Structure 1
Amino acid sequence: MSLVNWNLIAKISTPIGLVLLAILIGLFIENRLKYWIKKIDDNIPFGQYSFILKSFEGIIFIWFTVGGIALVLPSINLPISLNILIQKILIVIALTMATILASRLAVNSIQVYSLKHETTVSLTSLFEYLTKVLIFSIGFLVIIQSIGIQITALITAFGVGSLSIGLAFKNTLSNLISGVNIIVSRKIRPGDYIKFQNGEEGYVVDVELKYTLIKDIYNNVIVIPNGQIIDSSFQNYTLDNPQMLLPIKIGISYDNDLVKVEAITLTIAENILYIIQGGNKEFKPFLRYDSFDYYGINLTVYLKINEYLDRLLVTHEFIKEIHKVYKQEKIILAFPLINPYLKINDSLENK
Structure 2
Amino acid sequence: MVISAGKAELIQIAAITVGSYLLVQIGKALIRRSIRKTYSDPSDDVTKVTGLKFLYNTLSFLIYTIACFAIIYSIPPFKDIGKTLFAGAGIFAAILGFASQQAFSNIIGGIFLVIFKPFRVGDLIKVGQLDEGYVEDITLRHTIIKDFENKRIVIPNSLISTETIHNSHIKDARVMNRIPFGISYDSNVDVAKKIIQEQAVQHPLFRDYRSNLDKELNHPAVDVRIINWADSSITLRAYIWTDSQEEGFLLKTDLFYSVKKAFEANKIEIPFPHRTLVYKNNEPKKED
TM-score by length of structure 2 reads 0.66
Amino acid at match of 1:118: V
Q: Is the 2:146–2:152 contact (alpha carbons within 8 Å) kept by the matching residues of 1?
A: yes
Partner of 1:111: 35
- The aligned residue for residue 304 of structure 1 is 241
Check whether the contact 1:290–1:298 (CA below 8 A) recurs between aligned residues: yes
**Superposed displacement of residue 322, structure 1:** 0.9
Letter in 2 for 1:332: E
How far apart, CA to CA, are the structure 2 residues paired with 1:114 and 1:258?
A: 52
Does the alignment pair 1:230 with 2:189?
Answer: no
Following superposition, the deviation at residue 235 of structure 1 comes to: 2.0
Measured after TM superposition, the shift of residue 176 of structure 1 is: 1.6
Pair 257,167 (structure 1): closer, same or farther in 2 beyond 3 Å: closer
Pairing 1:239–2:167 present? no
Which structure has greater helix proportion?
Answer: 1
Letter in 1 for 2:197: L
Equivalent residues of 2:50, 2:138 under 8 A apart: no
1:304 to partner: Cα distance? 2.8
Matched with 1:324 is 261
Structure 1: which 5+ residue stretches go unaligned?
A: 1-78, 343-351
1:286 corresponds to 2:286: no
Task: Decide whether the 8 Å contact of 1:204 with 1:212 is kept in 2.
Answer: yes
Change (3 A) 1:119 1:174: closer
How far residue 318 of structure 1 moved from its aligned partner, in angstroms, is 0.8
Instruction: Find the partner of 1:171 among 102, 105, 112.
Output: 102
AA matched with 2:56: E
Q: Does 1:218 align with 2:142?
A: no
Query: Residues of 2 paired with 1:111 and 1:210: CA distance?
Result: 21
Partners of 1:159 and 1:126 lie apart in 2 by 31
Letter in 2 for 1:207: I
CA distance in 2, matches of 1:125, 1:260: 53
1-side partners of 2:250 and 2:138: how far apart?
Answer: 29
Asked if the contact 2:181–2:236 (Cα under 8 Å) also holds between the matched residues in 1, the reply is: yes
Paired AA for residue 99 in structure 1 = L
Per-residue CA deviation, residues 5-41 of structure 1 (Å, 9 max, x unaligned), is: xxxxxxxxxxxxxxxxxxxxxxxxxxxxxxxxxxxxx
Alpha-carbon distance between aligned partners in 2 of 1:268 and 1:334, rounded to the nearest angstrom:
20
Q: Does 1:129 align with 2:57?
A: yes
* C-alpha distance after superposition, 1:220-260 (max 9, x if no partner): 32232222222222322223333312111112344444443
Other-structure match for 2:119: 188
Q: 1:159 to 1:232 in 2, by over 3 A?
A: farther
In the TM superposition, what is the alpha-carbon distance from 1:81 to its structure 2 partner?
Answer: 3.0
Structure showing greater radius of gyration is: 1
Structure 1 counterpart of 2:50, which letter?
Answer: S
Give the alignment of 1:336-347 within 5 angstroms. 336=273, 338=275
1:313 and 2:250 matched: yes
Distance in 2 between the 1:89 and 1:338 partners?
83
**Distance of 1:159 and 1:318 partners within structure 2:** 68
Offset at residue 269 of structure 1 (A): 0.8
Is the Cα–Cα contact under 8 Å of residues 295 and 337 in structure 1 kept in the other structure? Answer: yes
Change in CA separation of 1:90 and 1:127 when aligned onto 2, cut-off 3 Å: closer
Give the conservation status (yes or no) of the 8 Å contact 1:288–1:300.
Answer: yes
Structure with the bigger RCO (C-alpha within 8 Å, sep 6+) is 2
What value does the CA root-mean-square deviation take over the aligned residues? 4.3
Q: How many residues align?
A: 257
- Give secondary structure in 1 for the equivalent of 2:46: coil
Instruction: State the Cα deviation string for residues 328-349 of structure 1 (Å, max 9, x = none).
Output: 122334555657x99xxxxxxx
Contact 1:127 1:180 in 2 (8 A): no
Structure 1 residue 181, shift from structure 2 partner: 1.9
Distance 1:157 1:189 in 2: 44
* Alignment partner, residue 42 of structure 1: none
Q: CA deviation at 1:317?
A: 1.7
What are the ranges of 5 or more consecutive residues in structure 2 without an aligned counterpart?
210-220, 279-288
User: Which one-letter code corresponds to 1:175 in the other structure?
Assistant: N
Cα 1:190/1:157, change in 2 over 3 Å? farther
